[in-house]
Amino acid sequence: MNAEIIAVGSELLLGQIANTNAQFISKQLAEIGVNVFYHTVVGDNGTRLKKAIETAQQRANLIIFTGGLGPTKDDLTKETIAEVLGKQLVIHQGALDSIEDYFRQTNRVMTPNNRKQALVLEGSTVLFNHYGMAPGMALKIDDIHYMLLPGPPKEMQPMFQKFGQAYIKKQLGKTERIESRVLRFFGIGESQLETEIEDLLDRQSNPTIAPLAGDGEVTLRLTAKHSSLEEAMKMLDEAEKEIQRRVGEYFYGYDDTSLYAELAETLKEKKLTIASAESLTGGLFSERLTSIPGAGSITRGGIVSYHTDVKEHCLGVSHDTLHDYGAVSHQCAKEMAENVRKLCGSDIGISFTGVAGPKIQEGKEVGTVFMGIAIEDCPTEVFHLQLSGDRQSIRTKTVKYGCHYLLRLLHV
Amino acid sequence: MNAEIIAVGSELLLGQIANTNAQFISKQLAEIGVNVFYHTVVGDNGTRLKKAIETAQQRANLIIFTGGLGPTKDDLTKETIAEVLGKQLVIHQGALDSIEDYFRQTNRVMTPNNRKQALVLEGSTVLFNHYGMAPGMALKIDDIHYMLLPGPPKEMQPMFQKFGQAYIKKQLGKTERIESRVLRFFGIGESQLETEIEDLLDRQSNPTIAPLAGDGEVTLRLTAKHSSLEEAMKMLDEAEKEIQRRVGEYFYGYDDTSLYAELAETLKEKKLTIASAESLTGGLFSERLTSIPGAGSITRGGIVSYHTDVKEHCLGVSHDTLHDYGAVSHQCAKEMAENVRKLCGSDIGISFTGVAGPKIQEGKEVGTVFMGIAIEDCPTEVFHLQLSGDRQSIRTKTVKYGCHYLLRLLHV
């Protein structure tokens, strides 16, 4: 089976957004061993879309479309496919019901054009949309599979993962097992990590080892192919073992986890609660931790002490500390962590104070960060970081280092 | 002139990276009035690249390639184009000199495969690469323009901006002005907005009107073409005036702004400070507002009262309120906003309490949100929202509604 992904939308051709949908689907297809030979982007134009479909029919037997399933006039993906394939569009009652439900629930008036979203290609398998109104669909005609997915990534991604991939796997029948495992590292640069495993990268073949860096993290994706699942897993285990021996110190988790999810999991296991006192990060640590469902059992909340007055009057950092050492200091980070722990009644208090930029502050350079971790009955630890990057990058790295150091302390 | 952008690289088809090069070039081309009709991505495979070129020759008269100009065996863009066009590759002395210089300067040994990077298509205009070794090139054969650019965005972007765009403008001869303006709306659904301006969308031609929805917002991009800048601006003004007359109520800003940036700007202008009390949003409002440089003059900080104890003991919400009405209530939102304002000594207090999901809470449905706004010497306002979507989407919409309602109150 070889695939082509056709993204439909003039916003892509105008450069308003990047085609991240093709990236996402390609990654998922690679994991189940489907080759992708082409990506195509075409605008909201029936004639050109029709030509793109005809070209794809010559060179692929799985054509996946994203976008153009919405309620407006320029959404014409399914109409054009229906025309090319000589199929009718029919109302899908389940989809129509859920669209009507959506409007009822949100107390909004359903305009008539929304009915159009419930139209599907006759004979197709309908893929449910749990995050939006337009359903997806899949069908096979003359040995070519067609799959239609909505454009917004928030709708497309869960639909493809939940229904799309399963549909394709079923069509594939049995094939070679392709097993992947992503190892996630923090606190080591990409080039340093690659140097440590250079010989493994040079002689890789099966499993393959693909490094990828971003946002202060480095990941290695190991992919093994074998007819037996057991053998494929064994190959991954062996490759991982050698990598862990060399750089395991920086490893924090597998696959789609995050430092925040790992921290939340560890706190849950150890039945510990946490509260944060945030200055330069402005609530980012707390926001990331509470983005995880079930955060209620581990997070008490915290104080965003962006202004010095709030540090002093809400958080109780002593006037002398602020006066003698400044807000960006070891001493201030220590008091922030200890005080927020007591104020919020948590087992752990964590604090972040520093200079996110663009300007220096208290004579301290952009990227200077102090981070405190106060744990009941333990001496408070304070870490000093010197980070690079723009404002948002410094803030993100700061909270990731917070997770990283706290995880280390908790795993001792 | 109409363009197709062909990105060459298997890493794109494997989903390792998104095709941001096509996005960048498309945006730049839109600005100079060149229509882009297709993007194509093809792997490092000579046969399939050849087919992609032949397809593009049928439908475009400007074909821009990115990637595959490097030193390794799988870099075969110029070799394949040479074959399709029946052209030779010749060493470009300037390019070779600068490659040799690069190795001398960095004290590295030049491997023979690096010489390959100095090969260019005979008769082409060479585009210099100030950030890497592979030069770009442009040439015209049989009324079709071909432009070859390197794959790494750090090399491609400055090359296209400095040389590529100028080359294309020169070919275009007379330059029509293309002016764009993005109008941003919040609080109105995409389909409702389109219904309100349906007749304008139907008869659009110059300026064009392109709607785009995402993350609870809707934008309209107006694009006018005219030989005179003044006329183009006048056309945009007229189109905007009619749109504002119909849906201006939901308009909040132009181009690349955000609700957070607009709120920060308004607070700065009015010399007002703000503090937030956040429950379901976990610090997201505060984090977004402090992500804007210079937030120090408007944000005091706030309290993340995720746990009920923190609402009661840090934020001072009365025990009776929490007991009688619950944490997700009008009354609790009101006290949270009023108390955080006093505690942090700000002019405005804003609060968010609700159910982000996945589970119901206090018998209240997922998506139930109460939001309080307390302004000194004004009666506190409380808003009740019923939102849909997953956990993160509800949290994001909640803080956007916070900005939206506060902006309305401040602009009265």
CA distance B335 to B339: 6
Could you tell me which of A248, A243, A244, A222 has the C-alpha nearest to residue A233? A222
Token digits for B295?
A: 């937030």
- pLDDT tens for A352-396 read 999 998 999 999 999 999 999 999 999 999 999 998 888 998 999
- pLDDT tens for A265-309 read 999 999 999 999 999 999 999 999 999 998 999 999 999 999 999
Token digits for B328?
A: 């997700």
How much is the mean pLDDT over chain A?
Answer: 92
Using DSSP, state whether B274 is helix, strand or coil: strand
Amino acid making up residue B113? N
Query: What is the DSSP track for B97-139?
Result: HHHHHHHHHTT----GGGGGGGEEETTPEEE--SSSS--EEEE
Token digits for B339?
A: 């108390």
Cβ–Cβ pairs < 8 A, chains A and B: 276
Residues 6+ apart with CB under 8 A from A400: A186, A215, A216, A217, A259
CATH of the domain at B322: 3.90.950.20
- pLDDT tens for B45-91 read 999 999 999 999 999 999 999 999 988 777 899 999 999 999 999 99
Q: Choose the weakest-confidence range: A1-10, A216-225, B395-404.
A: A216-225
CA distance A254 to B265: 42
Mutate to test the interface with B, among A290, A299, A391, A393 (most CBs of B within 10 A): A290
CA distance B295 to B274: 10
Question: How many angstroms separate the CA of residue B92 from the nearest CA in chain A?
Answer: 32
Domain housing A241: 177-254
Give Cα separations from B297 to A217, A325, B253 (angstroms).
33, 22, 22
- pLDDT tens for B315-350 read 999 999 999 999 999 999 999 999 999 999 999 999
CA distance B100 to A221: 35
Chain B residues in contact with A392 (beta carbon < 8 A): 291
Kindly determine whether residue B314 and residue A16, on different chains, have CB atoms separated by under 8 Å: no
CATH of the domain at B119: 3.40.980.10
Asked if the bond preceding A152 is cis, omega within 30° of 0, the reply is no
> Stretch A157-182: mean pLDDT, rounded?
85
Q: Taking a contact as any Cβ pair under 8 Å apart, which residues of chain B between 150 and 179 contact chain A? A: none
Boundary-marking domain end, from B210, B226, B254: B254
Within this chain, do residues A110 and A194 fall inside the same structural domain, yes or no? no
Within this chain, do residues B290 and B329 fall inside the same structural domain, yes or no? yes
CA angle (A335, A336, A340) in 5-degree steps: 115
Within this chain, do residues A293 and A200 fall inside the same structural domain, yes or no? no
Within this chain, do residues B236 and B327 fall inside the same structural domain, yes or no? no
CATH of the domain at B192: 3.30.70.2860
- pLDDT tens for A81-135 read 999 999 999 999 999 998 888 888 777 788 888 888 999 999 999 999 988 889 9
Mutate to test the interface with B, among A2, A6, A23 (most CBs of B within 10 A): A23
pLDDT at position B101 over 80: yes
Which pLDDT belongs to residue A171?
87
Could you tell me which of A206, A200, A152, A150 has the C-alpha nearest to residue A177? A206
Phi/psi for A6 (5° steps) reads: -110, 115
Which pLDDT belongs to residue B266?
97
How much is the mean pLDDT over chain B?
Answer: 92
Within this chain, do residues A167 and A195 fall inside the same structural domain, yes or no? no
Q: Are A98 and A104 in contact (CB under 8 A)?
A: no
CA torsion sign, A119 to A124 to A125 to A127?
negative
Q: Are A273 and A264 in contact (CB under 8 A)?
A: no
Within this chain, do residues A160 and A209 fall inside the same structural domain, yes or no? no
> Stretch A22-37: mean pLDDT, rounded?
91
Within this chain, do residues B366 and B392 fall inside the same structural domain, yes or no? yes
Query: What is the DSSP track for A242-253?
Result: HHHHHHGGGEEE
What is the helix (H) or strand (E) element at residue A176, kind and residue range?
none
Flag whether residue A202 sits within 8 Å of chain B, measured between CB atoms: no
Which pLDDT belongs to residue B348?
98
Flag whether residue A301 sits within 8 Å of chain B, measured between CB atoms: yes
Q: Choose the weakest-confidence range: A343-347, B119-123, B203-207, B339-343.
A: B203-207
CA distance A283 to A395: 10
pLDDT grade for A175, boundaries at 50, 70 and 90: low
Question: How many angstroms separate the CA of residue A44 from the nearest CA in chain B?
Answer: 10
Q: Taking a contact as any Cβ pair under 8 Å apart, which residues of chain A between 94 and 133 contact chain B? A: 102, 105-109, 111, 113-114, 131
Which pLDDT belongs to residue A184?
96
Question: How many angstroms separate the CA of residue A293 from the nearest CA in chain B?
Answer: 7
Residues 6+ apart with CB under 8 A from B322: B308, B311, B312, B332
CA distance B35 to A132: 31
CA distance B210 to B222: 7
Residue keyed to tokens 């949270």: B336
Q: How many CB atoms lie within 10 A of CB A67?
A: 26
Within this chain, do residues A144 and A241 fall inside the same structural domain, yes or no? no
Kindly determine whether residue B19 and residue A17, on different chains, have CB atoms separated by under 8 Å: no
Within this chain, do residues A27 and A162 fall inside the same structural domain, yes or no? yes
Boundary-marking domain end, from A145, A172, A199: A172
Which pLDDT belongs to residue A326?
96
- pLDDT tens for B187-228 read 998 889 999 999 998 888 889 888 888 778 999 989 888 888
Helices (H) and strands (E) in chain A, counts: 16, 17
Of A73, A275, A314, the CB nearest to B344: A314
Which pLDDT belongs to residue B174?
61
Within this chain, do residues A168 and A102 fall inside the same structural domain, yes or no? yes
Residues 6+ apart with CB under 8 A from B237: none
Diameter of chain A by CA atoms? 80
The residue of chain B nearest to residue A343, with distances taken between CA atoms, is: B314
Of A38, A40, A287, the CB nearest to B287: A287
CA torsion sign, A203 to A209 to A214 to A217?
negative
CA distance A302 to A315: 10
Q: Choose the weakest-confidence range: A189-198, A311-320, B281-290.
A: A189-198
Phi/psi for A218 (5° steps) reads: -130, 135
Q: Taking a contact as any Cβ pair under 8 Å apart, which residues of chain A between 277 and 296 contact chain B? A: 278-279, 281-287, 289-291, 293, 295-296
Structural domain count, chain A? 3
Residues 6+ apart with CB under 8 A from B28: A15, B160, B161, B165
Residues 6+ apart with CB under 8 A from B49: B6, B8, B42, B43, B68, B76, B77, B80
Mutate to test the interface with B, among A307, A391, A392 (most CBs of B within 10 A): A307
Q: DSSP assignment, residue A258?
A: -
Could you tell me which of B370, B369, B376, B394 has the C-alpha nearest to residue B274? B376
Token digits for A375?
A: 């744990």
Within this chain, do residues A160 and A13 fall inside the same structural domain, yes or no? yes
Token digits for A387?
A: 């980070």
Token digits for A166?
A: 């399963």
CA distance A269 to A292: 15
pLDDT at position B178 over 80: no
Chain B residues in contact with A261 (beta carbon < 8 A): none
> Stretch A312-321: mean pLDDT, rounded?
96
pLDDT grade for A235, boundaries at 50, 70 and 90: very high
Token digits for A71?
A: 């309620």
Chain A residues in contact with B310 (beta carbon < 8 A): 275, 300-301, 344-345
E strands in A159-280: 177-186, 208-214, 217-226, 251-254, 274-278
Antiparallel, parallel or unpaired: β B2-8 and A2-8: unpaired
Boundary-marking domain end, from A254, A281, A304: A254
Within this chain, do residues A207 and A96 fall inside the same structural domain, yes or no? no
